Structure 1
Amino acid sequence: MLDGAVREIINPPLDACGRRVAAWGVTANTVTVVGCVIGLAAAFAIWQNAYWVGLFLLLVSRFCDGLDGAIAKATESTDFGGYLDIVLDFVFYGSIPLGFVLADPQANAVAGAVLILSFYVNGSTFLAYAIMAERYDMHSTVRGEKSLYFTTGLAEATETIAMFVIVCIFPSAFVVIAYIYAAICFYTALSRIVLAGRVFSRR
């Protein structure tokens, strides 16, 4: 929901940084992989109850996630780059809740499992919609130039990162926040299914 507004703010400095990094010969795919590795390190830090370290690392990871697109824009976007970006995004988004589950399985396991399930369901509706949109040659720039057709929703990257930041600052609130955010993700998935029914049933 907030990605569009946030993008308007962060894209100009990211694009400038992307051009500079691209001039050094660093590729977008390299930054994508480095960002994912740092994200996994954030999950490991959370597992070890080093929540502030985890918070710092996950923010660095998401900076890399924005930077790779800026580098691709400054050089050359490829289909594989878009594919790699979305796959490793899913790796990151699943690893952070897993870190909280491993940090305190007795307290966090069920809520973490529900949250990861909601990510899985929400992600599947997003990707399935993108596949059908490609089949019908549909295009959208609602979130800028993307490798996949991008449908908006209540739960997007900005909201998810904000939720991760909150639970890193207040780890004891993970269970409550995980259930609330899972409900938001399920709602987003349901709304996307309804949208797909309206759009694709006419085709």
Structure 2
Amino acid sequence: MLDRHIRRLIDPTLDRAGRGLAAWGATADAVTLTGLGVGLVAAVLIVLGWPGWALLPLLLSRLFDGLDGAVARARGRTDFGGYLDIWCDFVFYGAIPFAFALADPANALPAAFLILSFYINGSSFLGLAVQAEKRGLSTEAQGRKSLYYSAGLLEGTETIAFFVVLCLLPAQFAPLAWAFGALCLLTAGARVAHARNLLA
């Protein structure tokens, strides 16, 4: 819901930084993988019981996630780069709740529900992207993307904000996970309805 507004604010700065990284020889794929690696460091810190310390690598990983697109725009986009970006995003999004489950077994059930909701929401997103590609549909409502990007109630910005709250309030993981997971399911339902209107 907030991604398009955030992108308008941060894209000019990211694009300047991306051009600089590209001039130094950085590739978008390398930036993507670096972002994933830093995000997994955040997950390890959560497992070790240091969620507050996980905030810095968590946010840094999302900075890399924004920079990879900027580098790609500067150097030229590739289909594999778009694929790698979305794959790394899903690995990261699953790793954080899984880390909270490992850190405290009491978090296992709400973490499982949260990951399930991510899976359902992600499939509603990617399934529509595949069908839209088959029909030659495109949209730049969320900026230029490597695939058809259907907006929703919860997107990347909301998910990162949620992860930050989890790191700040780890004792509240369970109620926060149940609530956010329910909103993910609502988002998925809205995307399925949108897909029916678009593709039927």
Tell me the TM-score normalised to structure 2 length. Answer: 0.99
1:197 aligns with 196
Extract unaligned runs of 5+ from structure 1: none
Give the partner amino acid of 2:52: W
Are 2:148 and 1:149 aligned? yes
Distance (Å, rounded) in 2 between the aligned partners of 1:64 and 1:198: 35
Extract unaligned runs of 5+ from structure 2: none
Distance (Å, rounded) in 2 between the aligned partners of 1:28 and 1:20: 12
1:159 aligns with 158
- Deviation of 1:140 (Å): 0.4
1:85 aligns with 85
Q: Partner of 1:155: helix, strand, or coil?
A: coil
Give the partner amino acid of 1:57: P
- Deviation of 1:199 (Å): 1.4
- Deviation of 1:194 (Å): 0.8
Are 2:115 and 1:116 aligned? yes
Q: Partner of 2:151: helix, strand, or coil?
A: coil
Post-superposition CA distance 1:105-148 (Å, at most 9, x none): 1x200000000000000000000000000011001001111111
Tell me the TM-score normalised to structure 1 length. Answer: 0.97
2:10 aligns with 10
1:35 aligns with 35
2:97 aligns with 97
Distance (Å, rounded) in 2 between the aligned partners of 1:174 and 1:162: 14
Percent identical pairs in the alignment equals 51
Distance (Å, rounded) in 1 between the aligned partners of 2:7 and 2:199: 29
Distance (Å, rounded) in 2 between the aligned partners of 1:40 and 1:46: 10
Q: Partner of 2:125: helix, strand, or coil?
A: helix
Distance (Å, rounded) in 1 between the aligned partners of 2:125 and 2:155: 11
Are 2:180 and 1:181 aligned? yes
Are 2:26 and 1:26 aligned? yes
